[in-house]
Amino acid sequence: MTKKVYTDYFFDEPAYNTHDGGYIPLKTPTVEPQPLAVPPLLKPDKQTATDDYYTVTAETSETQFLPGKKTKTWGYNAGFLGQTLVFRNGKHTHIDLENKLPELTTFHWHGLDVPGPITDGGCHAPVYPGQTNHIDFDVMQPAATTWLHAHPCPSTATQVWKGLAAMVIIKDDVEDQLPFPRNYGVDDIPLVLQDREFHADNQFDYRADYDPDGVQGHTALINGTINPYFDVTTQRVRLRILNGSNRREWRLHFNDDLEFAQVGSDGGIMPAPVYMNKVMMTCAERDEIIVDFGAYKPGDEVALMTDETPLVHFRIKAFEPDDTQLPDHLVDLPAETPTPGLPVRTITMDGMDEEVAMDGKKFDMQRIDARQKVHDVAIWDINNTNSTENGMVHPFHVHGTQFRVLSRNGGPVYPNEHGLKDTVGVNPGETVRIQVRFDLTGVYMYHCHIIEHEDGGMMAQIESYDPDHPKTYHLMDMDTLRNAFAEEQGVKPEDVWMPGM
Please tell me the distance from the alpha carbon of residue 264 to that of residue 289, in angstroms, as a whole number. Answer: 7
Say how many CA atoms lie within 13 Å of 415 toward its Cβ: 20
Please tell me the distance from the alpha carbon of residue 394 to that of residue 376, in angstroms, as a whole number. Answer: 26
471: burial class by Cβ within 10 Å (0-12, 13-18, 19+)? exposed
Q: Looking at the 3D structure of the chain, how many domains does it have?
A: 2
Identify the domain containing residue 364 by its residue range: 345-471
**Residue 418 is which amino acid?**
H
Please tell me the distance from the alpha carbon of residue 280 to that of residue 425, in angstroms, as a whole number. Answer: 10
Residue 281 · residue 293 · CB < 8 Å: no
Q: What is the CATH number of the domain that holds 443?
A: 2.60.40.420
Residue 420 · residue 333 · CB < 8 Å: yes
Residues pairing with 432 in the sheet = 382, 408
Out of 172, 200, 223, a domain closes at 172
Residues in CB range of 320: below 8 A, 6 or more apart: 234, 235
Please tell me the distance from the alpha carbon of residue 171 to that of residue 42, in angstroms, as a whole number. Answer: 15
The answer to whether position 451 is within a domain reads yes
**Cα separations (Å) of 169 from 42, 84, 420?**
11, 7, 15
The answer to whether position 111 is within a domain reads yes
Residue 127's φ and ψ, nearest 5 degrees, are -115, 120
Out of 123, 140, 172, a domain closes at 172
The answer to whether position 499 is within a domain reads no
Give residue 335's pLDDT.
87
Give residue 2's pLDDT.
73
Give residue 237's pLDDT.
98
**Cα separations (Å) of 213 from 12, 68, 282, 455, 485?**
18, 31, 14, 10, 24
Element (DSSP H or E) covering residue 484: helix 478-489
Helix (H, G, I), strand (E, B) or coil at 489: helix
The answer to whether position 463 is within a domain reads yes
Residue 92 · residue 138 · CB < 8 Å: yes
The answer to whether position 105 is within a domain reads yes
Q: What sign has the CA pseudo-torsion 147, 151, 157, 159?
A: negative
* Other Cβ atoms within 10 Å of 96 Cβ, number: 15
The answer to whether position 493 is within a domain reads no
The answer to whether position 144 is within a domain reads yes
Among candidates 381, 489, 442, 419, which has minimal Cα distance to 137?
442
Please tell me the distance from the alpha carbon of residue 277 to that of residue 253, in angstroms, as a whole number. Answer: 6
Residue 256 DSSP class: T
Residue 421 · residue 379 · CB < 8 Å: no
Please tell me the distance from the alpha carbon of residue 448 to that of residue 459, in angstroms, as a whole number. Answer: 7
Give residue 97's pLDDT.
98
Task: Read off the pLDDT of residues 424-481 as tens digits, 9 standing for 90 and up.
Answer: 999 999 999 999 999 999 999 999 999 999 999 999 999 999 999 999 999 999 999 9
Contacts 24+ apart (CB under 8 A), 18-23: 18/307, 19/390, 20/213, 20/392, 22/211, 22/213, 22/216, 23/216
The answer to whether position 126 is within a domain reads yes
Can you give the C-alpha Rg of the chain in angstroms?
Answer: 22
Out of 154, 172, 190, a domain closes at 172
Residue 42 · residue 87 · CB < 8 Å: no
DSSP 413-479: PPTT-SSEESEEEE-TT-EEEEEEE-SS-EEEEEEESSHHHHHTT-EEEEEEE-TTS--------HH
pLDDT along the chain (501 residues), means of 10: 89 96 93 97 98 98 97 98 98 98 98 98 97 98 98 95 98 98 98 98 97 97 98 98 98 98 98 98 98 98 98 98 97 94 98 95 97 98 96 98 98 98 98 98 98 97 97 93 92 87 66
